[in-house]
Amino acid sequence: MYYTMTLEDKVRVPPHRLGEALDAVILSVLQEQLEGSIAKEIGIFIAVTKILNIGEGELIPGDGAVYYDVRFEAVVLRLALQEVIEGEVVETTSFGAFVSLGPIDAMLHVSQISDEYINYDEKNGRLICQDSKRYIAVGDGIRARVVALSLNEREPRESKIGLTMRQSGLGTMVWLEEEFEEERGAA
């Protein structure tokens, strides 16, 4: 889930930027340092949006920079095990589908798509359920549950997120719409 958080950090303003507007420089430095990074206790930084407070600058002998205690607002994605999320299929392979959650991709293994046997149609890039003929293709919106979560702070691209759609209320948006129409027709 996405959150707007108020955080505090010590920000180093390099000497060559000391003549610029302080708010703009600090915002820029925080954006460069944080956006796209991961902090396990906070989440995945999407954007640093606002500087709320800047403390007095501190000088460290031998370093021409000025250090400021800063309070700021940031938008973060904080995933949790068992959380239901929505995403878009960005790639299909013989072993599953990669799903974009925005700033990071997750893996939907073929064993977690359906109770049915899944065939991979390499020519059309689709994962097809053998009995129902329902399929998943690039561009499909899906709703899934997070079942594995391993975030790597040092190498965010090495993070691993596993998904499942093998529960009621989960699947592609097309599947969910079909199920809704069936239930409405039966009522």
Q: Is 2.40.50.140 the CATH classification of the domain at 84-186?
A: yes
pLDDT digits (tens, 9 = 90+) for 28-53: 999 999 998 999 889 999 999 999 99
Asked whether the predicted pLDDT for residue 116 surpasses 70, the reply is yes
| Position 147, amino acid | V
Task: For residue 187, name the pLDDT band (cuts at 50, 70, 90).
Answer: low
Q: What is the pTM of this model?
A: 0.79
- Residue 75 has what pLDDT? 96
CB count, 10 Å around CB of 74? 22
The strand ranges marked E within 101-176 are 105-109, 118-121, 126-129, 135-137, 141-150, 160-164, 171-172
Q: Each residue of 59-87: pLDDT tens digit?
A: 988 888 999 999 999 999 999 999 999 99
Please list the residue range(s) of the chain that carry CATH number 2.40.50.140. 84-186
Location of each CATH 3.30.1490.120 domain in the chain: 2-77
* pLDDT at 103 exceeding the cut of 90: no
pLDDT in tens, 52-66: 999 999 998 888 899
pLDDT of residue 107: 96
2-77, which class in CATH? alpha beta
Q: What φ, ψ does residue 112 adopt, rounded to 5°?
A: -105, 10
pLDDT at 185 over 80: no
Using an 8 Å Cβ cutoff, are 127 and 136 in contact? Answer: yes
pLDDT of residue 120: 94
Mean pLDDT (the chain) is: 91
What is the average pLDDT across 165-181?
A: 89
